[in-house]
Amino acid sequence: MARRILVTGATGTVGRAVMRNLRQDAQSGGIELLGAARSAEAAERLRQDGLTPVAFDFDLPDTLRPALRGVNSVFLLTGYSVDMLVHAKRVLDAAREAGVEHVVHLGALAAEGTPHAHFAWHQLTERAIQGMGFAWTHLHPNFFMDTVWRGFVHRPDRLVHFVGDRRVSFISSDDMAAVAAAALRDPATHAGHVYPLAVEALTFFELAEVLSGVTGRTVTYRPRPATDLLAIMERQGAERTYAAGLAEGIAEIERGGMPEAHATYDAVERVLGRPAVLWRDFAAARLHHIRG
């Protein structure tokens, strides 16, 4: 019988990329691939991609056990709010009851013992995964290229961020997803591993130079103080407790208090056997997003 894999966040940037990475395995019968869908619209998007949806809502616990029935491996991606803690616990409780063997968790890159909630809550989730007896693989990405790019394409003459002139390291969703898919595909090889995912370290001034070269436009970096971030996130609808924890972490990076924020690692190349995606190629592949 084919192994059954459930991907949470299956219609988001990373989860959808995980689904794409595993689609050929599913089509060949090597695995049975299920994508968590919170709504009828999300389920239809998965079907349009040739993928199989399953009803799944972190806020409706009664949907979790049916979705996890017969599942061998779960890709666990929780939302960015204080609810990530209770959501993770609900899924892990249901997964243990259903006999799930292996959990691949998308966390965040930070030192052990970090006091900042955005990072600490991921670490709590990972301790729960380990303590509950699952085989596990932890993915620790740093700054998402995709998030920066989404802001840039709306104003492709500038970058705005809150880390000052600090160098930080980046990872693309494609590389995150490919590493996650490798772990889900082959738990025996990847169980018990922590993969830090950060492949290129740049200041935002240096990134502006890269984007200028790729786009043929003059791109400037306009730093804003980290003290501005919380109010901005709240105006954008972020939940306050989570937003405050993230803003504290970004302020610590701006002060130079998180040296791991600019660290880079070879995990992508070791797992995938190919070079990681760097900013120049990431941007070049997405130039069609920029109009005019």
Task: Tell me what pLDDT residue 198 has.
Answer: 98
Task: Tell me what pLDDT residue 292 has.
Answer: 56
Residue spans per domain, the chain: 3-141+172-197+265-272
Task: Tell me what pLDDT residue 118 has.
Answer: 87
Task: Tell me what pLDDT residue 80 has.
Answer: 86
Among the listed residues 277, 19, 7, 15, the one whose alpha carbon sits nearest the alpha carbon of residue 149: 277
Mean pLDDT in each 10-residue stretch from start to end of the chain (292 residues)?
94 96 95 97 94 96 97 95 94 98 97 90 97 98 97 96 98 98 98 98 98 97 97 93 93 95 98 98 95 62
| Spatial distance between the Cα atoms of 16 and 77, rounded to a whole number of angstroms | 11
Read off the pTM: 0.96
Q: Please list, in sequence order, all residues whose beta carbon lies within 8 angstroms of the beta carbon of residue 122, skipping any fewer than 6 positions away.
A: 84, 105, 107, 108, 110
Task: Tell me what pLDDT residue 81 has.
Answer: 86
Q: Which helix (H) or strand (E) holds 4?
A: strand 3-7
Architecture (CATH level 2) of domain 3-141+172-197+265-272: 3-Layer(aba) Sandwich (3.40)
| Spatial distance between the Cα atoms of 164 and 213, rounded to a whole number of angstroms | 22
